[in-house]
Amino acid sequence: MDLFAPQPTDNLLPCDGIVNDLGIMLSDDRALYQQLLDKLPWQSDQVTLFGKTHITTRKIVWMGDTSSGSDQALTYTYSGHTRPIQPWHSSVFHVKQLIEQRLLELGIAAQFNSCLLNYYPSGEDGMGYHADDEPELGHQPIIASLSLGATRKFVFKHKAHNKKTQDKVELYLESGQLVVMRGDTQQYWKHSITKTKKVDEGRISLTFRHMLNHP
């Protein structure tokens, strides 16, 4: 046992937010990875930057509650594009419930109604620095991110530009590992999945969140 490993209640950020590393929480992570890879309706993501739209090799699925009677209730818009929602896959919904129960045991009340899944085919697929600060997520959102597949580097960088806050926080996320971002994290920090040529295996991330319904 690593005596210096962070505890679930430890805050990995030095200031302006809370990030908890809950460690490996799934024993069947490899089987779940293959099931989601084979069964979900993956689509290439679209990102518009400076007026130019890019089609990514990274693929996504946006899923969640559709029982309100209108799939439009939980549409999600980021990078200039709106993502239509898919109904919950049974395995993803089960994982959602497991995460909610684990957080409750730590005194964190969270009810997730949606999940954005990203598939990175290899280490050459990544995600640039960004914050999950869209209006649909509300103030101080709780976002639980579960990793499956290849180990990848996850980096936090403070949005401010001064010596006090320039330090980066780096994690190597393993298959089955759960990280929770909450408090002011999205307001003050950006995060990224860095690209690398050293990884040739795929990774799937499941980021559970609560979206606000708009009439």
Q: Is 120 annotated as a binding residue?
A: yes
Q: Is 207 annotated as a binding residue?
A: yes
| Backbone phi and psi for residue 76, each to the nearest 5 degrees, phi listed first | -130, 125
- Among the listed residues 168, 146, 147, 148, the one whose alpha carbon sits nearest the alpha carbon of residue 157: 168
- Among the listed residues 204, 177, 150, the one whose alpha carbon sits nearest the alpha carbon of residue 37: 204
Q: Is 52 annotated as a binding residue?
A: yes
Q: Is 158 annotated as a binding residue?
A: no
DSSP state string for 83-143: EPPEEPPHHHHHHHHHHHHHHHHTT------EEEEEEESSTT--EEEE----GGG-SS--E
Q: Is 191 annotated as a binding residue?
A: yes
| Backbone phi and psi for residue 35, each to the nearest 5 degrees, phi listed first | -65, -45
Q: Is 112 annotated as a binding residue?
A: no
Q: Which run of H or of E encompasses 46?
A: strand 43-49
| CA-based R_g, the chain, Å | 17
Q: Is 118 annotated as a binding residue?
A: yes
How many whole angstroms separate alpha carbon 114 and alpha carbon 14? 29
Q: Is 50 annotated as a binding residue?
A: yes
- Among the listed residues 199, 157, 155, 158, the one whose alpha carbon sits nearest the alpha carbon of residue 179: 155
Q: Is 194 annotated as a binding residue?
A: no
Binding site residue list for 2-oxoglutarate? 118, 120, 130, 191, 203, 207, 209
Binding site residue list for substrate? 50-52, 76-78, 133
Binding site residue list? 50-52, 76-78, 118, 120, 130, 133, 191, 203, 207, 209
